[in-house]
Amino acid sequence: MTKVKLRVNGQDHEREVEPRTLLVELLRDGLGLTGTHVGCDTSQCGCCTVHLDGKAVKSCNILAVQAEGREITTIEGLAQGHELHPVQKAFSECHALQCGFCTPGMIMAMSAFLAAKPKPSDEEIYDALEGNICRCTGYVNIVKAVKQ
What residues line the site for ligand FES (CB under 6 A)? 38-41, 43-48, 58, 60, 97-103, 134-137
Q: How many CB atoms lie within 10 A of CB 119?
A: 7
Of the pair 40, 94, the CB lying nearest ligand FES is at 40
Q: Which residues fall within 8 angstroms of residue 83, CB to CB, at 6 or more apart?
A: none
Q: Which lies closer to ligand FES via its Cβ, residue 9 or residue 137?
A: 137
Least Å from the CB of residue 81 to ligand FES: 26
Residue whose CB is less far from ligand FES, 21 or 137? 137
Q: Which of 116, 148, 113 is nearest to 131 (CA)?
A: 113
Q: Which is nearer to ligand FES, 2 or 101 (CB)?
A: 101
d(CA 22, CA 38): 11
As measured in angstroms, the least distance from the Cβ of 92 to ligand FES is: 13
In the chain, the amino acid numbered 104 is P
Closest contact distance (angstroms) between CB of 28 and ligand FES is 11
Torsion of CA 33, 111, 38, 58, to 10 degrees: -110
Closest separation in Å from C-beta 140 to ligand FES: 12
